[in-house]
Structure 1
Amino acid sequence: MTTPLPNIAGRHTLRAATGLLLALSACTVGPDWQKPSLSIDLAYNGPVGAVAPSRIAQIAFDPAWWRIFNDPELTSLEERAATSNLDIAIASADFSASQAARRIVAADQYPSSDANASYARERASPNGVLGLLDTTGSQNTATVANGTPEFGPAALPGSSGSSAFDLWQYGFDASWELDLWGRVRREVEAANASVEMSADERRGALVSVQAETASDYFQLRGLQSEIAIAQQNLGLARHSLALTQIRLSNGATTNLDVANAMAQVHAIAATLPPLQQQEAQMVNALSFILGKPPRALTAELATPTPLPPVPPVIPIGFPSELAAQRPDIRAAEAKLHETTAEIGVAVADFYPRITLSGSLDIQALQFGGLDTWASRQYGFGPTISMPLFQGGRLRGTVKLRKVQQKKAAIAYQRTVLQAWREIDDAMTAYNAAQNQRTQLQEAVGQNHIALAAAQSEYAQGAADFLNVLEVQNQMLITQRDLIRATTDTDEALVSLYKALGGGWQTTFPSLRATGAPPKTLSLATD
């Protein structure tokens, strides 16, 4: 008795084939992603001239930067805007769509299978392919006398061709592409980068909405302060008018002073309607940011409050954290990653694709035969496809992807440079606004002294009424400029935190349940 030798060569061949397959499956063509370096020096030399009361410091800051103003109404508006703004809702929908697209792409990593079942009533045409066969003979025989295979049931007496028959079938099939060159892995890598880019764009929308909310709020409070200043000056003008009327009745002056005083009253009163119009528009702007109809916040914001003061120290974080804080830099980096991965996808198209496929079906001419294992039919095996001639399409695609990567790299550099410029401009604007505000504060104080002196001298007959008008007009202008400088200071700080990416949070605020505007809008009217 001879003992068969083990098939050592076959085992080595199987192991070698398995090892080669694993090695190939780990192969990924195309360039690998390398995170770009970011070097930014946020140089701050301080204000020019007088020392500003609020200084910038490179220390960590709270992402909810608006809290430094200690304004409860602003904090409330910011929190509501983050959860109800429609632009953020749209960006969130785009983010969800990118996640769904990534899931579709990732499905190519796994085998796909389908189940099927069918029934058909069929009859083959004797004038078609069936004409090549001899269909004569007795029913249910495999061949006829001359050895030609019979197609389907035998013809009925007095007819030609095969009879109609039933065909029952059910089964399943599966296929799986072996990702030998990393094409699918590069597609998934690109999809992951696209999801990251969409997430950063959503955070960019959040940062912009938060900055816009604070800016509109400060403009509203500034307008309300201007209205209050105009009303105070209107009271002073009416007091001057009454004084000229008394002096006229005493024969101490002429109608010229009364007319000038009356013109001053109307001129100041004329400044109120445009300011009130702008106030209403800013209320509507804030209502829109919160996803509400016009005038929805009128009652809430009707009571004027002073512009919040800036803190003595303004934390701006560290330059090394800028790339992690600015959503547009993060999105540009993710776009560069995506285009880099897409080069690998294009390169992989030059290589063969190997797909493993198989099917198992149960087929019978009678329904009762579907439960018989003998009715099975199957097929399995690999399919290899390789491009031979594409008319330059593949090379063109690779070139296109490389150009897109180069464009994304340039866009990334531009985004970083733009961020740097915006931060520097915001710091300069913040300090300039502070210095302007300081000078205007001094000017307003001197205007009050000058107006009191001019009114006193006019009442005593020692000065002309034109002096009173000139001083009062100058004080009105200076007070208005002071309010605007204070507004500019707050807005410059908002711009600085927006440029720094302030508001970026690890946990994104939860949007309202539907993320959609109300079904009906009720417009308030006077």
Structure 2
Amino acid sequence: MSRTSRCASLALIALLSGCSAVGPDYQVPDEAVIKQEKAQQSFDLADNAAVSASPLPDDWWRLYDDPLLDQLVRAALDGNRDVRLAYHNLRRAYEGYQMAHHAQEVEIGGSGSLARGQLSSEALALHEKLPVMNLADAGLTVGYQLDLFGKLQRATESAAASAQSSQAALDTARITVVAQVVRDYVEACHATEELHIAGQSLDIQQRQLDVAERLFAGGRGNQIDVARARAQTEALRAELPPFETKKAAALYRLAALLGRTPGDLPPTVAACTHAPQLSQPIPVGDGAALLKRRPDVRAAERQLAAATADIGVATAMMYPEVSLGASAGYTGMLEHMGDPITRRWAFGPHIAWHFPTQVDRARVRATEAGADAALARFDGVVLEALRETQTLLARYADDLQRNRALRQSRDAAKAAAEYSRTLYQEGRLAYLDSLDAERTLAASEATLAASEARLSQDQVDLFLALGGGWTTAAGAEPGVAAAH
């Protein structure tokens, strides 16, 4: 290559190197809902003393101060199939990022061949037939693609954002599993409590039946009172199996969450008689903290970043692709390999380009539409997170108020039943009146127990909506942070 040619090539490369990545540089759009001031505000806690604006801890289940629950959560995070699936999806996405990140590395290759044959004399402008000979070829090639218009850079940005979205999906799986473990554990405990309450009601009614039978045998009662007492006894007995089924189902789900077969749980889990209770108000933080913490919001934002980078990839495909290459080796007869006459080498740039077509322009418009759709999806996830959290806060406040009223009702029904039972046993009250008081107490006890279970479910639902249970900083696997 002449001095003039070398200077021209270097000038061309320097000119092209001044180009920058095409397509938009990503940032959260100003019109995104997450940037609105109202999205960052504190929640309406409705003067609910059971919640506070304090920051939510990642390990929220420790607020229950139950060592067995801690053990179950750790076991689920280690053995849950959904967590394992999300983790391996993250591994795959991270390796996709690695492929994009290293796409601009220098490529080095080698080749070699050996054959016995005859070359065409005509192809070499010879008039005499060439003899059969041993032919050989050996050489090395080196190539490097210049990312002059940012195609590889944008592809790397897209792959990194996709890997971060997969990280958020893993966080979602962990958070969901933690909430499901706590939910099924407290449901099993509440089922045991409800079963115990139903059993107590049955015992009271059984004693009432015994009294009715003794009074009838002594001539102070009648057959109708005995029949009514027996009917009420069997009705209460029929309420026991549903609670047993509820408890068994919760334990089976809990075993599955831990990656175990049904029944493969520590005996202490089934022996739980009282559901763990929070010893402090639920810390909920504010809207800004919620939107930073919830993994589905982070995933939607990363998907928007990936879609924005894809615009740059599609745009760069409309520009020339420039690469630098070099090759060297030997080609000739085997017995001459290594001699100067078989030596070959080449070096220079390679430019490939086709004039943009309507297909290329349509591809760019399609990726722009994809980015607009990703923004709409991101806005929807943000709004849904705020709506869900505020709705659950309102429901929790209402259920607490209802629980207080039911507790007062149960206390009054209990006092009335005890007094009516005494009057009936002394013969100063008709049996029907005593039976009504017992029915009222049994119904009040069952309703209150169901309300307590509902409150526990409300708490778990609220913790899940708040995005508590995991963060990327705490949960990132080694090496994954490189994609961030």
TM-score by length of 2: 0.91
Q: Distance in 1 between matches of 2:113 and 2:273?
A: 76
Do the aligned residues in 1 keep the contact of 2:167 with 2:476 (CA within 8 Å)?
Answer: no
Match of 2:331 in 1: 363
SS at 1:357 equivalent: strand
Q: Which amino acid aligns with 1:175?
A: G
The alpha-carbon deviation at position 415 of structure 1 amounts to: 0.5
**Would you say 1:71 and 2:66 are equivalent positions?**
yes
1:377 is matched with: 344
Q: What residue identity is the alignment partner of 1:508?
A: G
Question: Quick one: distance in 2 between partners of 1:372 and 1:318?
Answer: 78
2:351 aligned counterpart, secondary structure: strand
Matches of 2:5 and 2:272, distance apart in 1: 89
Q: Which segment drifts farther, 303-312 or 482-491?
A: 303-312
Q: Please tell me whether the aligned partners of residues 326 and 504 of structure 1 are also in contact (alpha carbons under 8 angstroms).
A: no
Asked if the contact 2:297/2:382 (under 8 Å) is kept, the reply is yes
Give the AA of the match of 2:345: Y
Partner-residue secondary structure (3-state), 2:474? coil
Instruction: Tell me how far 1:299 sits from its aligned partner.
Output: 2.3
For the residue of structure 2 that corresponds to 1:384, the secondary structure is: strand
Aligned residue number for residue 257 of structure 1:
225
Contact 1:102–1:192 (8 Å) recurs in 2: yes
The 2-side partners of 1:19 and 1:339 are apart by 31
| Equivalent position of 2:142 in the other structure | 174
- Residue identity matched to 2:56: F
Structure-2 residue corresponding to 1:196: 164
**Residue 409 (str. 1) matches residue 375 (str. 2):** yes
CA contact (8 A) 2:22 2:150 kept: yes
Question: Shift in Å at residue 388 of structure 1?
Answer: 2.3
Equivalent-residue separation in structure 1 for 2:88 and 2:177 (angstroms): 16
**Quick one: which amino acid aligns to residue 251 of structure 1?**
G
**Matches of residues 33-72 of structure 1 in structure 2 within 5 Å?**
33-36=26-29, 37-38=34-35, 39=37, 40=39, 41-47=41-47, 54-72=49-67
What is the CA–CA distance in structure 2 between the aligned matches of 1:509 and 1:231, rounded to whole Å?
48
2:314 and 2:476 map into 1 onto residues whose CA distance is: 38
After the TM superposition, which of the residue ranges 374-383 and 269-278 deviates more from structure 2? 374-383
Q: 1:432 to 1:198 in 2, by over 3 A?
A: same
Please report the RMSD computed on the Cα atoms of aligned residues, expressed in angstroms: 2.4
SS of residue matched to 1:108: coil
Distance between the aligned counterparts of 1:356 and 1:372, measured in 2?
27
Number of residue pairs the alignment of both structures matches? 468
> Post-superposition shift, 1:164?
3.6
Q: SS state of the match for residue 273, structure 2?
A: coil
Judging changes above 3 Å, is the alpha-carbon distance between structure 1 residues 427 and 277 closer, same or farther for their aligned structure 2 residues? same
User: In structure 1, what is the Cα distance between the partners aligned to 2:384 and 2:410?
Assistant: 38
Unaligned stretches of 5+ in structure 1? 1-6, 125-129, 134-142, 156-161, 512-526
**Residue number in structure 2 paired with 1:220:** 188
**Secondary structure of 1:174's partner?**
strand
Give the Å deviation of 1:174: 2.1
Alignment correspondent of 1:4: none
SS at match of 1:507: helix
Shift of 1:179: 0.9
Please state which structure has a larger fraction of its residues in helix. 2
Alpha carbons of structure 1 residues 373 and 82: separation in structure 2 relative to 1, 3 Å = farther
Cα distance change on mapping 1:123 and 1:389 into 2, 3 Å: farther
Cα offset for 1:444?
A: 1.2
Decide whether the 8 Å contact of 1:352 with 1:384 is kept in 2: yes
Match of 1:85 in 2: 80
Q: Do residues 499 (structure 1) and 465 (structure 2) align?
A: yes
Give, in whole Å, the separation in 1 of the partners of 2:90 and 2:45. Answer: 40
Alpha-carbon offset, residue 475 of structure 1: 1.6
Q: Does 1:447 align with 2:389?
A: no
- Cα 1:123–1:369 change in 2 (3 A) is closer
C-alpha displacement of 1:247: 0.7
Partner of 2:25: 32
* 1:301 to 2:269 alignment: yes
| AA matched with 2:320 | P
Closer, same or farther in 2 for the Cα pair 1:10/1:101, shift >3 Å?
A: closer
Paired with 1:82 and 1:384, the residues of 2 have a C-alpha distance of 52
1:115-126 to 2 correspondences below 5 Å: 115-124=110-119
In the alignment, residue 95 of structure 2 is paired with which amino acid? A
1:415-426 to 2 correspondence within 5 Å? 415-426=381-392
Structure 1 window deviating more from structure 2 (328-337 vs 466-475): it is 466-475
Q: Rate the CA distance shift 1:178–1:14 in 2: closer, same or farther, 3 A.
A: closer
2:58 counterpart SS class: coil
User: Aligned AA for 1:75?
Assistant: D
Distance 1:480 1:205, change over 3 A: same
Structure 2: how far apart are the matches of 1:509 and 1:399? Answer: 35
Name the SS for the 2:42 alignment partner: coil
The change in CA–CA distance for 1:335 and 1:71 in structure 2 (over 3 A counts) is: same
Q: Secondary structure at the match of 2:18?
A: helix
The residue that corresponds to 1:398 in the other structure is 364
Letter aligned with residue 50 of structure 2: R
> Aligned partner of 2:450: which letter?
R
Tell me the amino acid that sits aligned with residue 480 of structure 1: A
Task: Tell me, yes or no, if the aligned pair for 1:28 and 1:344 is still in contact at 8 Å.
Answer: yes
Shift of 1:351: 0.9
Going from structure 1 to structure 2, the CA distance change for 1:298 and 1:468 (only over 3 Å counts) comes to farther
CA distance in 1, matches of 2:465, 2:391: 9
Once residues 383 and 456 of structure 1 are traced to their aligned partners in structure 2, the CA distance between those partners, rounded to angstroms, is 103
For 1:23 and 1:510, the matched residues in 2 are separated by: 38
Which of 85, 94, 115 aligns to 1:99? It is: 94
